[in-house]
Amino acid sequence: MTFIKTKISDVVICEPTIHGDNRGYFVETFRQDKLEEFIGYKINFCQDNESKSSKGVLRGLHYQLHPAAQTKLVRVISGRVLDVAVDIRKNSPTFGEYVAVELSSENKKQLLVPRGFAHGFVVLEDNTIFAYKVDNYYSPQNDRGIAFDDESLNIDWILKKEELKLSLKDTKQPKLNETKDLFEYGINYYA
């Protein structure tokens, strides 16, 4: 497995080695020891989640506040998405910037979205199955979000706005500059 720092170094692309032949393929999708060695801190994933969506479904931008903040390791089992992580750590040199990576069943890339980032994705193919690990359980009282179409973020979701399918919750999220519940840069949210 290869780990690649993105333009926001805390967000990491994980590229597994695919071993294939005429029978199919084998891929090791997760190695905790290798990932922790690369990122420099411990992660204890406690839950796996999976969703199936049609083309145009946009989920996000979501995050949970400390002490329920979550690190996510996301991947696509079938289909294709554009996956986005937004830095929401106040005073960070990359505050308000984002990383966007296409994840697909073909490229088998994964994205590590650490605590302190809002996360979302848009589905680019029908019947896409999206899976992810989290290191903290869902906490409704700590659940927050940011508007997917916040002009200050200027995220290119690839699809036209009229093609997008959103939950009611995701149509009512505040813009980043209207959000009081953010993270502080430099604080260790893993302690």
Binding site membership for substrate: which residues?
Answer: 23, 28, 47-49, 59, 72, 119, 143, 165
Q: Is the backbone peptide bond immediately before 67 cis, with ω within 30 degrees of 0?
A: yes
Check: CB of residue 50 under 8 Å from CB of residue 107: no
Identify the helix (H) or strand (E) that includes residue 38.
helix 32-39
Select which of 132, 137, 189, 190 is catalytic. 132
Is 132 among the catalytic positions?
Answer: yes
- The C-alpha atoms of residue 123 and residue 52 are separated, in whole angstroms, by 9
| Residues making up the binding site | 23, 28, 47-49, 59, 72, 119, 143, 165
CA atoms within 13 A on the CB side of 94: 15
Burial (CB < 10 A; 0-12, 13-18, 19+), residue 144, is middle
- Which amino acid, residue 32? Q
Select which of 62, 138, 185, 189 is catalytic. 62
Q: Which residues are identified as catalytic?
A: 62, 132
